[in-house]
Structure 1
């Protein structure tokens, strides 16, 4: 194989190929993990072909996300994406696929815990404002200020007055974000009653996933109908032209991820940014340099 700077050593080529495969294996590891979670132990020819198409599209879309990232940095855009939905709806999996090949200094995730005593006395949106992007940044909110319209309402963590004030304030808050130049995208992951039940049971029986089920999650399962009413009210009262809601059909996780990424990309007229060609400079070598040996006791044991 040749390169603009000359032929590539076969050993170097092998290393480059191994690096690419290792990168793709990261995604494969997550997909295998999902299969185990779902109890899928048999892969027929149809499923195998569907998985092949899924990987092909995912890698293509992730390549477009890299282009979007470069465009955001180049233009100084500020992007905010909200991920909302029921527990086990697939928000986290979608976020992982978006961020997997992006620069964490450009695209970061904000997953805020429950407010502490001090934060409870602040303006409701205050702790979220601190995580909004500067120029050239993308912020993905894994749950957001819409906690007040969902879990806080259903679990009784806010008063009726606070609930109504949220609905008065949130359209104005989001209009302010839009006027400031922030692009805001809001996605709701929708799954069926039966699908959430199956995913909860799978997590209960998977020791590697049990940490995902908090007492609050289990209680949310019991209050399915209350969450449905809260979601319907939220969508009705906060679906505004400046920041509309988009519903992602989430029963099929793979389709949901692809559809969301494709839709997000379609909302922005990004383009590929030209970069100055990068050339690896030759390493300097000095005759007086002698590499010092590392004591054997400092090495991690090579168990594998």
Structure 2
């Protein structure tokens, strides 16, 4: 039986204050790591794969929250176009690979072919087996060229996945995250397990190993994956120049006069309705 199929006990909840403090510490280190990436001209690729609703998106959100978006981006490609279907399979991913000083996070990647495309019949057997042969070669070329490649698999149980699906279905803010294929993954659990096992067997190789992130508890998975990134990339603190903030000159010294504000159009201050009522003074 696949380890994901076993009934796993729910891990103990993290202390909220301790979680938030540790997350902040790790995010500060991520910013420092990014400075090292920029200064050194490093190229970093992080692949995030896993079951639907496994917590990939929320982890990516915490990773990128404070990073400089000019040097860090998330790639989440839609279904391929008719033209892209006629290209070499990896071709549409290549333009998104990082240049010097960049971190690229793939929210699902070329491994779609080994997962959803395989299970849902969106590719032929020949295309699937060709992918399993070519993926290690392509990743070896990336690593040999100096790209730091880390592949993460977010692991979640069938019970927890179903619970998250139901939570999304009842939440109008997150209902868009549910697609017909997401729902169908519940009835195809074993098929996805077999596809994942075959993918690991073919692509979990030296230089491009899969790192499994237990994601039964999303908060734990966020802490653990960020710490793992910081451990696997051999970064060092980079001294940053001190920024001196000058005093603002008085308007009379600049000769600037602001135009009449009544000529502008402003958004209505509906937030005023949320203001706290003034405290009554005691007599």
Do Structure 1 and Structure 2 share a fold, with TM-score over 0.5? Answer: yes
Matched, 1:302 2:269: yes
1:88 aligned counterpart, secondary structure: coil
Q: How does 1:27-176 map to 2 (within 5 A)?
A: 50-176=15-141
Matched, 1:212 2:154: no
User: Could you tell me how far apart the structure 1 residues matched to 2:94 and 2:221 are?
Assistant: 28
Residue 286 of structure 1 and its aligned partner are, at CA, apart by 4.9
Matched, 1:249 2:214: yes
User: Could you tell me how far apart the structure 2 residues matched to 1:64 and 1:149 are?
Assistant: 33
Normalising by structure 2, what TM-score?
A: 0.89
User: Could you tell me how far apart the structure 2 residues matched to 1:244 and 1:186 are?
Assistant: 7
Normalising by structure 1, what TM-score?
A: 0.83
User: Could you tell me how far apart the structure 2 residues matched to 1:206 and 1:167 are?
Assistant: 38
1:295 aligned counterpart, secondary structure: helix
2:52 aligned counterpart, secondary structure: coil
2:236 aligned counterpart, secondary structure: coil
Q: How does 1:16-35 map to 2 (within 5 A)?
A: none
Match for residue 195 of structure 1 among 146, 160, 172 = 160
| Equivalent residue pairs, number | 258
User: Could you tell me how far apart the structure 2 residues matched to 1:121 and 1:286 are?
Assistant: 62
* Structure 1: gaps spanning 5 or more residues: 1-45
1:66 aligned counterpart, secondary structure: helix
Structure scoring higher RCO (CA < 8 A, sep ≥ 6) equals 2
User: Could you tell me how far apart the structure 2 residues matched to 1:132 and 1:91 are?
Assistant: 19
Q: How far does the alpha carbon of each residue in 1:229-284 deviate from its partner, in whole angstroms, 9 at most, with x for none?
A: 10111011100111100000000100000000001100122111011111012334
Structure 1 vs Structure 2 CA RMSD: 1.3
Residue 91 of structure 1 and its aligned partner are, at CA, apart by 0.1
User: Could you tell me how far apart the structure 2 residues matched to 1:283 and 1:131 are?
Assistant: 42
Q: How does 1:266-277 map to 2 (within 5 A)?
A: 266-277=231-242
1:125 aligned counterpart, secondary structure: helix
Q: How far does the alpha carbon of each residue in 1:46-101 deviate from its partner, in whole angstroms, 9 at most, with x for none?
A: 96x70111001000000110110000000000000000001100000000000001
Residue 296 of structure 1 and its aligned partner are, at CA, apart by 6.4
User: Could you tell me how far apart the structure 2 residues matched to 1:57 and 1:285 are?
Assistant: 43
User: Could you tell me how far apart the structure 2 residues matched to 1:114 and 1:194 are?
Assistant: 28
* Structure 2: gaps spanning 5 or more residues: 1-11, 272-283
Q: How far does the alpha carbon of each residue in 1:93-126 deviate from its partner, in whole angstroms, 9 at most, with x for none?
A: 0000000011111111000000001111111001
2:244 aligned counterpart, secondary structure: coil
